[in-house]
């Protein structure tokens, strides 16, 4: 039986200079082969007693006449494909920005306060791990990266350098603001995916390990972002001057960047 797994959007645009594109072009055309068989997958995943109804918004009336039989898998709807593609795109862009913020912040911060070097290195290394995770996922599912890579890169580096130059408190306030928004952002994605899983289970469909693994990955990364937030507060983020203006501007910028990166 054909296993549709996650059938995501095809890569429509890629930057020739992107290392992601280089990685993607070396990948087998996993998405394309899945797409070619998407209609067959939809048909084969419908239980034989459902009159071949491919309307994925309708519950399956009797999916498992035999409890011992393997459950069918349900292909993603176009809306679910679009959600997953935009989620991976914005996550990858956000993690790129996070690595650049820490890269720019660390030299001025540790020059004044060398005892913060291990903490800054620890947070950077976790962000680098997150970026590597999403680089692999967008390559695997052939999701195009954000077209605004250069813009986000410049803004993130500028934000990191500026807050780092202002001192430890401002650097930590930046981390607190960013991680507050990112923690909420990952939570929203996790909730949406859990809703999908709940609907499929209620309809009697198999939920692939790939989707469960993605939820686990997002939870782990969300927890690490919130750990960064705690570190920032412990290291006097709230003593930054002017705290409310600084964090307000950065949080608004994060929300704007997330909104744009989900779409562009």
Q: Which residues make up each annotated binding site? A: 95, 127, 130, 179, 225, 228
Listed ranges 94-102, 154-162, 186-194, 250-258: which one lies at the site for Fe ion (CB under 5 A): 94-102
- The reply to whether 127 sits near Fe ion by the rule CB under 5 A is yes
For the bound state, the minimum distance from the C-beta of residue 235 to Fe ion, rounded and expressed in Å, comes to: 14
Which pair of structure tokens corresponds to residue 49?
A: 């007693």
In the set 73, 89, 130, 168, which binds Fe ion (CB under 5 A)? 130
Q: What is the DSSP string of 128-146?
A: HHHHHHHHHHHHHTTPPPP
- Which residue lies nearest Fe ion, judged by its C-beta? 130
**95 within 8 A of 238, measured Cβ to Cβ:** no
Query: Where are the strands (E) in the chain, listed by range?
Result: none
In sequence order, the β-bridge partners of residue 206 are 73
For the bound state, the minimum distance from the C-beta of residue 182 to Fe ion, rounded and expressed in Å, comes to: 6
- The reply to whether 140 sits near Fe ion by the rule CB under 5 A is no
45 versus 163: smaller Cβ distance to Fe ion: 163
Q: How many residues make contact with Fe ion (CB under 5 A)?
A: 6
221 versus 246: smaller Cβ distance to Fe ion: 221
86 versus 92: smaller Cβ distance to Fe ion: 92
130 versus 140: smaller Cβ distance to Fe ion: 130
For the bound state, the minimum distance from the C-beta of residue 129 to Fe ion, rounded and expressed in Å, comes to: 8
Binding residues for Fe cation: 95, 127, 130, 179, 225, 228
Instruction: Collect all residues with Cβ–Cβ distance below 8 Å to 205 and sequence separation of at least 6.
Output: 45, 60, 63, 71, 72, 73, 74
User: Which positions from 197 to 236 touch Fe ion by CB under 5 A, shown as an x/- string?
Assistant: ----------------------------x--x--------
176 versus 225: smaller Cβ distance to Fe ion: 225
b/e map 119-147, b = 16+ CB within 10 Å: bbeebbebbeebbebbbebbbbbbbbbbb
For the bound state, the minimum distance from the C-beta of residue 130 to Fe ion, rounded and expressed in Å, comes to: 4
**CA–CA gap between residue 83 and residue 193 (Å, rounded):** 10
Q: Is the dihedral of CA 255, 260, 263, 264 positive or negative?
A: negative
Distances, alpha carbon 130 to alpha carbons 31, 150, 178, 225, in Å: 23, 19, 15, 10
The candidate with the shortest Cα–Cα distance to 233, out of 178, 165, 191, 153, is: 178
- Omega prior to 242 cis, within 30 of 0: yes
For the bound state, the minimum distance from the C-beta of residue 225 to Fe ion, rounded and expressed in Å, comes to: 4
List helix spans (H) across 204-242. Answer: 209-234
In the set 6, 97, 98, 240, which binds Fe ion (CB under 5 A)? 98
Listed ranges 15-23, 49-57, 120-128, 210-218: which one lies at the site for Fe ion (CB under 5 A): 120-128
Binding site for Fe ion (CB under 5 A): 95, 98, 127, 130, 225, 228
């Amino acid at each position: 039986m054909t296993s549709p797994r996650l059938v995501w959007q095809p890569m429509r645009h890629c930057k020739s200079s992107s290392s992601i594109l280089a990685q993607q072009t070396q990948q087998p055309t996993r998405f394309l082969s899945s797409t070619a068989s998407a209609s067959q997958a939809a048909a084969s995943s419908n239980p034989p007693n459902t009159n071949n109804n491919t309307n994925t918004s309708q519950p399956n009336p009797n999916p498992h006449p035999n409890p011992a039989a393997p459950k069918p898998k349900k292909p993603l709807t176009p809306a679910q494909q679009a959600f997953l593609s935009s989620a991976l795109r914005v996550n990858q862009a956000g993690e790129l920005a996070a690595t650049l913020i820490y890269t720019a912040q660390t030299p001025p911060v540790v020059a004044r306060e060398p005892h913060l070097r291990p903490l800054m290195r620890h947070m950077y290394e976790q962000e680098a791990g997150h970026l590597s995770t999403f680089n692999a996922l967008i390559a695997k599912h052939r999701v195009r990266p954000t077209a605004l890579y250069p813009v986000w890169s410049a803004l993130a580096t500028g934000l990191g350098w500026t807050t780092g130059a202002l001192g430890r408190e401002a650097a930590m306030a930046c981390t607190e603001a960013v991680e507050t928004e990112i923690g909420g952002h990952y939570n929203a994605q996790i909730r949406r995916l859990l809703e999908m899983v709940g609907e499929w289970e209620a309809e009697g469909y198999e939920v692939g390990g790939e989707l469960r693994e993605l939820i686990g990955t997002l939870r782990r990364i969300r927890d690490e972002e919130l750990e960064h937030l705690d570190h920032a507060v412990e290291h006097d983020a709230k003593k930054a001057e002017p705290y409310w203006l600084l964090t307000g501007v950065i949080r608004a910028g994060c929300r704007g960047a997330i909104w744009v990166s989900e779409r562009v």
